[in-house]
Structure 1
Amino acid sequence: MGVLADHAIREMIARGEITAAPAVIDAQVQPASLDLRLGARAWRVRASFLAGDGRKVAERLAEFEMHQIDLEGGAVLEKGCVYVVPLMESLALPDGIQAVANAKSSTGRLDLLTRLVTDDGVEFDRIAPGYCGPLYAEICPRSFSVLVRPGMRLNQIRFRAGQAVLGDAELRALHAESPLVDGEAVIDQGLGFSVDLKPASGDLVGYRAKPHTGVIDLDVIGGYDPSEYWEPIHARDGRIILDPGAFYILVSREAVHIPPDYAAEMAPYLAMVGEFRVHYAGFFDPGFGHANAGGAGSRGVLEVRCHEAPFVLEHGQIVGRLVYERMETRPERLYGADLASNYQGQGLKLSKHFRA
């Protein structure tokens, strides 16, 4: 019982439980997830929606469609608009296997809200056992307009057999055996993590997205000047004030370790500590930050959006938690060890599209 590893995902493909046109390529298979690819057409819709029980996404598109966009050759998805894109992959899940989706790390760091939608769906990003049908991505660029093409991979899907989440007692035992963070572990319905606003050197603690910028081509890696898209945030007293509606890239104080037989997902902390959201992309693969995969602990990058009122965020404040899950089996490849992983050993870091 647990999260299915890369070799199990390949077996699902071989059995026809995961199909795609064109066929899935090996680069899509990650240690504990499968990257999903955009299809050739996008629907600009009036509002975000779920299909609902007994309804098809295609039916609802007819209700909410404003116009269609051909993505072949590239097309711009405008900031503040909502789009639905059929994905190249489809599922025929067996009973006992459920799925959960999330935005990829680079997608979240661009404030590119991307969620999975299915037929009969009553939740985003959650797929019940036995689902048979197509997959769609709902995409809403929040800070930057983006240029996309068919085949781009903005979100990923993880498959689970049975109960995979570790309880607090199991998490404490795992931390005692293989430390999950450097220093004391705050464990309460997951592993708590806090924000770093007192860096070891200097006073740069994060970045805030600028409101009026150019388009970002998602195929361009390391090609954009950060100063044209981001305002650096400095803190000399260990605190910053979050502006309502603004998007920030910050970093966790803790260096995180994900052992090879486990995966993790970032989850929000209690809403009572402040009206802000701390993540848009939340999968941590086996081996992330772990010594077995060439890591020495990796900070968690926090994608933060404040709601309602200005909010004071202080150094060391707990802002989220990592929910650890056991793998069904150890992956053949670990994050950072055998893959060209962009964020192994990371600290405060923008998405891969920007120059260092």
Structure 2
Amino acid sequence: MIDTHTLRGVLPSQTIAAMIDDGAIGADPAITAAQIQPASLDLRLGTHAWRVRASFLAGKGHRVEDRLDEFTMHRIDLTEQGAVLEKGCVYLVPLMEHLALPPGVQAVANAKSSTGRLDLLTRLITDGGVEFDRIAPGYNGPLYAEICPRSFSVLVRPGMRLNQIRFRQGDAVLGDDALRALHAQTPLVSGTAMISQGLGFSVDLRPSEGDLVGWRAKPHTPVIDLDRIGAYDPAEFWERVTSRNGRIILDPGAFYILVSREAVTIPPDHAAEMAPYLAMVGEFRVHYAGFFDPGFGCDVAGGAGSRGVLEVRCHEAPFVLEHGQVVGRLVYERMTTPPDQLYGAGIASNYQGQGLKLSKHFRAV
């Protein structure tokens, strides 16, 4: 069992494996080695889903199942040929995994990178939960994924992995002084580091070649089968976003894939999470899907710096976005110890060394 008294930080892959062996993390069927990432665990969809009329949280003292009668429209079987989750609808799916966390261990969940790049809002909820994606220390119970496809309808099956969970003990977040010291020791970003409540990053709207700066989701598209990798023509689903003057105008309600100007690095003994920048910067939000694992963009893991892909949605008013505008930040956390295996080093890491890149379901441009 892990030491919950002396260790502080994000738990690495080998500790997650030990928690599985100890029963702190369980599943039916059993968890596979492929689910264990350097600093997180992939979660799998179960055998059925409920179409619900609204997003909800269980609330303190309530189980999720006890609230289903209030919100369920119908139950959907995922086991035969899968099922289509339709754009604009909300679904609740029991996950195969469940938790019995030690008192000193808490958890946070997030959508996987490919999930976020499809604008597939996926959030974790728990019994007694009062926040999405947050699991209190000592939680003992089932896990559920709330799924709302916002740009594309998707075909899902049991066992698919749309979100992931990270475990931590104590406060592992680096303050600005500690982040500056880490950057001085191991450069975390190309160019000048913008450090204020995390490592700021900006948008790249002046590519070194050509004028392609991003992609905008088309409004009426075919269904995407999430098991099909590299199968879809981007032109069926996305419009090219181009710029010759380092400026684009975001349309209200539209979803964009853009890329950061900076190449970032996550050292082996740290992890990071993308967070939104201040809401006052404009009428848009960078969707913060995905964790950044130890080794992302790191030389020792074959990265040499990787740029962050930005999932951007504009709100009520059109907004001018300009090259170099700060749009988000990376919050760095200490690991309790470096993981046995780094992102991009001998494991299936789809986005190491990336630039502007759609999800793995689309053919390379």
The TM-score normalised by the length of structure 2 is 0.97
**Residue 64 of structure 1: aligned partner:** 71
**Residue 289 of structure 2: aligned partner:** 281
Paired residues for 1:327-342 under 5 Å: 327-342=335-350
Q: Give the gaps of 5 or more residues in structure 2.
A: 1-7
**Residue 4 of structure 2: aligned partner:** none
Correspondent of 2:224 among 203, 216, 222: 216
Q: Distance in 1 between matches of 2:152 and 2:285?
A: 18
**Residue 326 of structure 2: aligned partner:** 318
Correspondent of 1:234 among 221, 236, 242: 242
Q: What amino acid is aligned across from residue 236 of structure 1 in structure 2?
A: R
Deviations, residues 135-170 of structure 1 (Å, cap 9, x unaligned): 000000000000000000000000001110000000
Aligned length: 356
Deviation (angstroms), 1:59: 1.0
SS in 2 for 1:169: helix
Q: Distance in 1 between matches of 2:288 and 2:176?
A: 24
Correspondent of 1:31 among 25, 34, 38: 38
Indicate if the aligned counterparts of 2:115 and 2:289 stay in contact, CA closer than 8 A: yes
Q: Distance in 2 between matches of 1:134 and 1:243?
A: 39
Q: Distance in 2 between matches of 1:78 and 1:182?
A: 40
Q: Give the gaps of 5 or more residues in structure 1.
A: none
**Residue 84 of structure 1: aligned partner:** 92
Q: Which shifted more, 229-238 or 269-278?
A: 269-278
Correspondent of 1:174 among 176, 179, 182: 182
Deviations, residues 331-352 of structure 1 (Å, cap 9, x unaligned): 0000001212100000000000
Paired residues for 1:136-285 under 5 Å: 136-285=144-293
Q: Distance in 1 between matches of 2:312 and 2:132?
A: 20
Deviations, residues 105-146 of structure 1 (Å, cap 9, x unaligned): 000000000000000000000000011000000000000000
SS in 1 for 2:99: strand
Deviation (angstroms), 1:280: 3.7
SS in 2 for 1:175: helix
Deviation (angstroms), 1:282: 3.0
Indicate if the aligned counterparts of 1:3 and 1:158 stay in contact, CA closer than 8 A: yes
SS in 2 for 1:278: strand
Correspondent of 1:2 among 6, 9, 14: 9
Indicate if the aligned counterparts of 1:113 and 1:280 stay in contact, CA closer than 8 A: no
**Residue 18 of structure 2: aligned partner:** 11
Q: What amino acid is aligned across from residue 207 of structure 1 in structure 2?
A: W
Runs of 4+ with deviation above 3 angstroms: none
Deviation (angstroms), 1:58: 0.4
Deviation (angstroms), 1:62: 1.4
The TM-score normalised by the length of structure 1 is 0.99
Q: Distance in 2 between matches of 1:2 and 1:280?
A: 21
**Residue 83 of structure 2: aligned partner:** 75
